[in-house]
Amino acid sequence: MSDYKEFENKMQKTCEALTAQFATIRAGRANAAVLDQIQVEYYGVPTPIQQMASIATPDPRSLLIQPWDAKQIRPIEKAILSSDLGINPQNDGRCIRLVFPPLTEERRRDLVKQTKKYAEEAKVAIRNIRRDAIDKFKKQQKASEITEDDYKIAEKDIQKLTDDYIKEIDKITERKDKELTEI
């Protein structure tokens, strides 16, 4: 019954993916992870900003993007403007500065709603993993590879694993919501 590890790894990866998704939600502080989803057309190839520029955090509320190829400053600026980041880049010809304004109460509520949506999607993914696991054990039992008792134990163990990871998702979400609502 060493099949649990496979399902536990999938559940762990779901939590890691949620954490990475939360990193892209800006919380009023400058965080280079908000640029992770932004692609820039670079010689005909969509390229992440991190692969074509250095990104620094000169102070808690701003990011400084310095392209390695000066000709790419305009395309980077356009990509940021067309993203859903909601920040106007300031271009001085050599680098782009992103100043993160303090979040309004309404924007904070929208971001909390977004975290709830992401968390719910992660919980659905965890439940789907549980369903797959239980289906697998059910097939093994039908094929007489495991006994009825083993199946019941496996079902109980998978449910406990599911409950633990759902609690973990709740903790991750609670931390992000707290970060978003603190002023």
pTM of the model: 0.70
Domain ranges of the chain: 4-23+104-181, 32-99
Do 32-99 and 4-23+104-181 have the same topology in CATH? no
Q: 71 is written with which tokens?
A: 């000709």
pLDDT value at residue 123:
96
Query: How does pLDDT run along the chain (183 residues), one tens digit per residue?
Result: 457 889 999 999 999 999 988 887 766 667 787 788 888 888 888 888 888 899 888 888 888 999 998 888 888 888 888 887 777 888 888 899 988 877 788 888 888 898 999 999 999 999 999 999 999 999 999 998 889 999 999 999 999 999 999 999 999 999 988 888 875
For 115-159, the pLDDT digits (tens) are 999 999 999 999 999 999 999 999 999 998 889 999 999 999 999
CA 76 remoteness from chain centre:
22
Q: Which fold has domain 4-23+104-181?
A: Topoisomerase I; Chain A, domain 4 (1.10.132)
Of the candidates 32, 36, 23, the residue with the CA atom closest to the CA atom of residue 111: 23
* pLDDT for 133: 93
Query: Sign of torsion, CA 139 142 144 146?
Result: positive
Domain 32-99 has CATH 3.40.1160.10: no
Q: What is the pLDDT of residue 158?
A: 93
